[in-house]
Amino acid sequence: MSEHFLLFDVGGTDIKAGLANANGEILQVLREPTHKVGPEHAAAELVGQLSALSRRLTSQSAITPVAAGLAVCGLVDAESGTGIFSANLGWRNAPLRAMASAELGLPVGFGHDVAMAARAELELGSGAKDAALRRNAVVMVIGTGIATALMVDGRLISAGGYAGELGHAQVPGGLPCACGATGCLETLGSAGAISKRYQQATGKAGGAKEVFAARAAGDEIAAGIIHEAIEALTFTMAQLCSSVAPEGIVLGGGLAQAGDSFIEELQVSLRRRLSFHREPRLIPAHLGADAGLQGAMILARDIAAQRSHLAL
C-alpha cells in the first residue's frame, strides 16, 4: 500500500493543506484564511487549525498518512522545530513541530515556508534544467510580506533561521512595520503594502492587482505607489548583488503575478543600480501556488525516511 503524507504551507494570510502520495502527486488541496488571535494563543490556534484541516482531508477516504510536512512563515529554527517569531501571526519561540506532532499523532518534518518553496522551485521548477541557478540564486516571495531564501554555492543559508529575512531589511523611505522597526522593505515593496497604501491614499479597497489596474488606467497615485515599491525592491536586490551575487532572483508570491512588464520594470531599475556586479536574471517562479506544498512534501518525505531508517 502506498504511503501518504499530510502537507501544510502556513502563510501570513492563508494556509494551504494537502494530501499527497509517495509519488509526489497532490491528491487533495484545501485553502483557508490563517486564524489570527493574540500572541499568547497564536501557536495553539495554528495547531488546532492544522488538526481540523487534517480531519477534513482524510475523512472521505481510508487513507492513513504516515507523516506530515509543515512549512511556516516568519523566523524558523528548523533544526529545533521552533517558530522563533512571526510578525504577522504573533508567536514567539513556539515549539511548533512538537505541538503539531502531538496533535496530529504523526512525525512532522518542519521548516521555513520560503526556504522549502525555494528548494522545491530550484529542484523541480525554474532551476530543474539550470545548474547555475540551482547553485547561486535568491528566491523572493512577495505577498502579504516579503521573505527570501538564499542559495549560495549550492547550499541554502539558514543561520539559525535568521538568514533571508529581507522583508525586514532597511530601505530608503521605509515606514513603521509590524515587526517593531521602522524602514522595512515590506512596508513599501510587498503586495500587502501596495494595497494598504493605496487604500489609505484614496479610500478605495482592493488588492495589489487592483492597484496595478488603476495605474494602467492612468491613476497617478497608483503609479507613484508602485514606483516606490519597485525602487525599494531593487534597492534590496542590488545589495544582494554585492553580497551573495546570485545568478538569478526567482520571484514568487502574489506580486510576482503582476506580469512580464512588471518584471521588466524591476530589471531596468536594478540595472541602473549596478556597475561591475553580476546582473541577475529576474525569473518568475514556475511552481506558483504549489511551491509551498511541494516544499512541505520534501519535509514529509525526509522525516518519513528518517523514521524508516531508525526502525531498521
CA 152 to chain centre: 18
pTM of the full structure: 0.79
Query: What is the overall mean pLDDT for the chain?
Result: 91
Domain 4-115+289-311 identical in fold to domain 129-285 = yes
Q: Tell me which CATH homologous superfamily contains domain 129-285.
A: ATPase, nucleotide binding domain (3.30.420.40)
Which tens digit of pLDDT belongs to each residue from 75-118? 889 999 999 988 778 899 999 999 999 999 999 999 988 889 88
Closest CA to 72 of 11, 146, 126, 157: 11
CATH topology of domain 4-115+289-311: Nucleotidyltransferase; domain 5 (3.30.420)
Read off the pLDDT band of 10 (50, 70, 90). Answer: very high
Which tens digit of pLDDT belongs to each residue from 50-78? 999 999 999 877 788 999 999 998 888 99
Q: Write down the pLDDT at residue 310.
A: 60
Residue 7 in contact with residue 297, Cβ under 8 Å? yes
Least confident of 2-6, 93-97, 239-243, 295-299: 2-6
Residue ranges of domains in the chain: 4-115+289-311, 129-285
Positions of E strands within 117-237: 137-142, 146-152, 155-156
